[in-house]
Structure 1
């Protein structure tokens, strides 16, 4: 019986997406037909997700999201992680696959806690054969995690590094040059609540000098920006 699979791939590097496409098409099962849409930024991906959700015939079966993407023009969607959350809302039956260069253990754990993806692939682990294996595994028996992810999960029981959507928005706004005193114009919190969150973020990222620039540097290093 033929299996028609509609797929969304989101990555800001066209050559990488081309490689993913070629691998999946070359290694698909004989009964599988792949219909692949691509997007290179958050705005394009969001439009495709909304369009797909409007008809049962166009729903995506699998969505691949790179974590590091150009933010949407309105600044509300800042990463593949945000897109994955949107996909969960608009396409609840779609299988979500996250691809990332970041291999920090708490970054990986944060993705699992926030999204619980059917697939989590570390690009430095990824080969054509693993991508092919992961795709088929995700279709029939998710989740599929890269070896690096599995190693972290085996050795790490809990993690204190967990950033909710508000904390991530604070980091994003600070990185765009928004001053602390102006954050309340973008976030529905009191100034004291924002200051408390900033203090907590600096504790999480071991920022000893208390400077926002140091916080942003550490957040970038750990893959949160």
Structure 2
């Protein structure tokens, strides 16, 4: 099992849920940092001392510190940590569930596990630690669909027009009317409603506003 673990979490480590998840593993050395700069300094010091950490468990969002921080998010910390120590195992433990952000962390920053802070968070964190130690990837099952790349779901010009109209404040009836005038098919209200439902499901959006925010981040509109 891991021998030296660093926790980057701005809430009290004792009450964060991570402590409970780690207790059963009997890890000899566990250190804690409330800010990303502090966490990176600990990682760098350990690396330079030839006593590197085996695992970094990090949140993504951190409260503002009274002094300016160079690293302000878990993403920035993980990126710098990987540059310093490429073989460092990393687990994200966060409430963030936006698909584009999870994809970036798992596919670009190559984190070893992504655990969603939820009612099952502690249990899943334990599963993640076991998986990562065994060189396997882990993601909270309810978020697994977010790793489906955007290319696997074909976004058409119809979809882009639909999203743009939605972003401009048009409701489904108005969108249907505009599509009929432009001879865009399908144009019925039920068809527009059905396609919007599929888009929301694909992008894991709970409502039209969130769908617009996510697709803007993807650069679709």
Residues in 1 aligned to 2:113 and 2:61: alpha-carbon distance in whole angstroms? 16
Q: Which residue of 2 aligns with 1:7?
A: 5
Q: Which residue of 1 aligns with 2:54?
A: 61
Q: Which residue of 2 aligns with 1:114?
A: 108
Q: Which runs of 5+ in 2 are unaligned?
A: 152-162, 170-212
Matched, 1:148 2:142: yes
Q: Which runs of 5+ in 1 are unaligned?
A: 160-202, 210-217
Which deviations, in whole Å up to 9, do the C-alpha atoms of 1:179-208 show, x marking residues without a partner? xxxxxxxxxxxxxxxxxxxxxxxx99x975
How far did residue 16 of structure 1 move? 6.2
How far did residue 106 of structure 1 move? 1.6
TM-score (norm 1): 0.61
Q: What is the DSSP-based 3-state SS (H/G/I as helix, E as strand, rest coil) of the residue aligned with 1:56?
A: coil
Aligned length: 163
TM-score (norm 2): 0.62
Give the RMSD, CA atoms, in angstroms: 3.3
Q: Which residue of 2 aligns with 1:158?
A: 150
Matched, 1:98 2:84: no
User: Taking structure 1 as reference, are residues 71 and 111 closer, same or farther at Cα in structure 2, changes over 3 Å only?
Assistant: farther
Which deviations, in whole Å up to 9, do the C-alpha atoms of 1:86-142 show, x marking residues without a partner? 110122221011122111212211222331101111112643322212111110132
1:21 to 6, 15, 19: 19
Q: What is the DSSP-based 3-state SS (H/G/I as helix, E as strand, rest coil) of the residue aligned with 1:99?
A: strand
Q: Which residue of 1 aligns with 2:121?
A: 127
Residues in 2 aligned to 1:38 and 1:111: alpha-carbon distance in whole angstroms? 22
Q: Which residue of 2 aligns with 1:51?
A: 45
Instruction: Tell me, yes or no, if the aligned pair for 2:92 and 2:111 is still in contact at 8 Å.
Output: yes
